[in-house]
């Protein structure tokens, strides 16, 4: 099965981002395809390499980067949402790239399932 994931919440203020990462890891561990993870609204903060989480919170930004490096998963940040929240090419974590909403539409049309995390 082919999955795409939409993350709408920031990494350290809501459980959605951690749940999305755990789901992505489970999808890959079970041999499914993960076509793309799209970060929208406050979810674009998952791509900010300047984030400094509390030690007990874990580092979701690094977790997403590791997922991209280890499995070749596309991590796409919405350009409009990123600009509004200060996420730009200059402060992107490794493995992320900036693009438009067309990437979300394409992922949704190619995947068997689009799973959304956050409001």
Q: Is pLDDT above 90 for 43?
A: yes
pLDDT tens-digit readout, 52-108: 776 655 789 999 999 999 999 999 999 999 999 999 999 999 999 999 999 999 999
Q: In what order do the strands lie in the sheet with 113-117?
A: 96-99, 74-78, 33-39, 2-7, 113-117
3-state secondary structure of 49: coil
Place of tokens 């580092």: 59
3-state secondary structure of 113: strand
Query: 43, 17 in Cβ contact below 8 A?
Result: yes
d(CA 57, CA 1): 31
Please provide the CATH number assigned to the domain covering 2-117.
3.40.1260.10
pTM of the entire predicted model: 0.96
Query: 37, 20 in Cβ contact below 8 A?
Result: yes
- Active site annotation includes 94: no
Q: Of 78, 92, 93, 107, which one is the catalytic site residue?
A: 78
């Amino acid at each position: 099965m082919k999955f795409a994931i939409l993350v709408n919440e920031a990494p350290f203020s809501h459980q959605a981002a951690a749940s999305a990462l755990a789901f992505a890891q489970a999808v890959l561990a079970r041999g499914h395809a993960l076509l793309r993870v799209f970060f929208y609204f406050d979810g674009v903060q998952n791509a900010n390499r300047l984030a400094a989480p509390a030690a007990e919170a874990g580092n979701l930004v690094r977790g997403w980067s590791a997922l991209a490096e280890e499995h070749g998963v596309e991590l796409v940040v919405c350009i409009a949402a990123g600009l509004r929240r200060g996420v730009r090419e200059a402060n992107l974590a490794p493995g992320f790239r900036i693009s438009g909403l067309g990437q979300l539409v394409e992922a949704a049309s190619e995947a068997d399932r689009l799973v959304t995390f956050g409001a």
